[in-house]
Chains A and B, each alone.
Chain A
């Protein structure tokens, strides 16, 4: 379970996140939707301390980190448990596909080289890219890179995966294969927090949809509630743009 409590963040005096609290249960898939520039990605980055929040706490399985007094060791332990999938994939450019997945296992999870590579190959065949094991990121399509980005997170078998607009940078032809993979993870009850602009996908995959606007959570609930009968006018206005 991930507990986000009272997270606030501002850049250059401009408030981006305003006292946000959110709880994500084990096995739950939470989709965060909302207009651009409302702090969705910042929230996700604050959860893994890629941005240090100005105030608030993040707690995950007995580990609780306060924005104001965090220790490097705790932050690393938190990140270890919350692997991140980036919008621009951010695969390690100097490593092959199999090494990209094996790297965190070796360096952070202290697995032996053999064990890490075996796991990595397993994950690659799991995501249908076994034949690309020795390819470098520059030799792969956007869709393949993002599947490896997801594979890199899957391989750690960590508590939950954070995904920051995983399909936004993809050419339309590659979006499908990435969404299919995420759907499969959802079916396996992989805990995930996904910031996304894919409304149909959020509706289909998420257990809970969180609508954010102006640095706060406006409303949240099951996809049926949020998409079917949104209560807040801001949610209604936002969703109206997608349903026509």
Chain B
């Protein structure tokens, strides 16, 4: 039994930090796509667009009802067998697409709930002055809904960031994959995985701090 090797742990950080970029890039791209897609899905649900609505219901049910890991495997290893055009899909893109689809399903539901929680009178007060549905949504309803949905959206974004670690199963060299490589050559599993854990924790702490600042800023308004 070996004892805890602090120097090894400290030495790991510079190595892992070199791979942090890919993790953050993956998280940032998936966050933006997931949020945009979630808004579209939520609006289809709110306005009950015929046909599209049923599709969205199934979409959300599937991506919330199956594990992210399984979704990533289907997307990266499974679908290219069926659709040859996807053979060229690299692990990074597959991870970004998988994370986006998965988290858009969750975020769509919080956005939908938040939009529907805005009192009917806010829509009416917009229509009564001649606004279109899009204007009412953009100027009056959505700003109120986003404020309500913000805490849960931020939680999903933090979850998304941590879930990027699953991309190592697609063979993507991000920090989790690098830590695993280091661990299997040095046999210092605890130090290696602790280092990854500390890095994720650090990023999440920073994100949480930004979140509370953003929430404070928005709640100051009204």
Enumerate chain A interface residues (CB-CB to B < 8 A).
Answer: 48, 50, 72, 76-77, 79-80, 83-84, 86, 88, 90-96, 103-104, 107-108, 136-139, 152, 156
Least distance between A138 CB and chain B CB atoms (Å): 6
B-side binding surface: helix, strand, loop or mixed? helix
Of the A-B pairs whose beta carbons lie under 8 Å apart in the complex, a sample of 21, sorted by A's number, is A50-B124, A72-B132, A76-B130, A79-B130, A84-B125, A84-B129, A86-B124, A86-B125, A88-B121, A90-B122, A91-B125, A92-B122, A92-B125, A92-B139, A94-B143, A95-B140, A104-B129, A104-B130, A107-B131, A107-B139, A139-B222
A84–B222 CB distance below 8 A: no
| Chain B residues, Cβ within 8 Å of A139 | 222
Known A79-B129, A84-B128, A107-B139; further 12 A-B contacts with Cβ < 8 A: A76-B132, A79-B128, A83-B128, A84-B125, A86-B121, A86-B124, A93-B222, A94-B147, A94-B221, A107-B131, A138-B222, A139-B222
In the bound complex, do residue A107 and residue B135 qualify as a contact, i.e. CB atoms below 8 Å apart?
A: yes
Contact residues in A for B126 (Cβ distance below 8 Å): 92
What chain B residues lie within 8 Å of A152 (beta carbons)? Answer: 129
Chain B minimum-CB-distance residue to A88: B121
Q: Are A136 and B127 in contact (CB under 8 A)?
A: no
Across chains A and B, which 3 residue pairs bring their CB atoms closest together, nearest first?
Answer: A80-B130, A136-B222, A84-B128
Interface residues on B, range: 10 to 19
Cα of A103 to Cα of B221 in the assembled complex, Å? 17
Q: B residues 120-171 with Cβ under 8 Å of A?
A: 121-122, 124-132, 135, 139-140, 143-144, 147
Q: How far is the CB of B150 from chain A (nearest CB, A)?
A: 13
* Chain A: minimal CB distance from B205 (Å): 30
The answer to whether A77 touches B130 (Cβ under 8 A) is: yes
A94-B144, A104-B131, A107-B139 given; A136·B221 CB < 8 A: yes
Chain B residues, Cβ within 8 Å of A86: 121, 124-125, 128
Among B124, B131, B140, point to the contact of A94 (Cβ < 8 A): B140
Known A86-B121, A93-B122, A94-B221; contact A156-B143, beta-carbon cutoff 8 A: no
A107 to B135, CA, bound (A): 7
Binary A-proximity of B84-95 (CB < 8 A = 1, otherwise 0): 000000000000
CB 8 Å contact bits of B25-56 with A (1 = contact, 0 = none): 00000000000000000000000000000000
Question: What total of A-B pairs shows CB separation below 8 Å?
Answer: 66
Contact status B139-A137, CB under 8 Å: no
- Over the window 201-213 of chain B, the binary record of Cβ atoms lying under 8 Å from chain A Cβ atoms (1 yes, 0 no) is 0000000000000
A76 to B130, CA, bound (A): 4
**Across-interface contacts of B127 in A (CB, < 8 A):** 50, 79
Give the chain B neighbours of A104 by CB distance below 8 A. Answer: 129-131
Q: Which partner residue on chain A sits nearest B135 by CB separation?
A: A107
Contacts of A136 in B (CB 8 A): 221-222
A136-B222, A137-B222, A138-B222 given; A80·B121 CB < 8 A: no
Query: Residue of B at shortest CB range from A104?
Result: B129
Residues of A within 8 A of B132 (CB): 72, 76
Q: Residue of A at shortest CB range from B139?
A: A107
Shortest CB-to-CB span from B21 to chain A, Å, is 37
Cα-based distance from A94 to B129 in the complex (angstroms): 16
- Please indicate which of the listed interface residues A88, A107, A152 has the most CB atoms of chain B within 10 Å of its own CB: A107
Q: Which residues of B contact A137 (CB under 8 A)?
A: 222
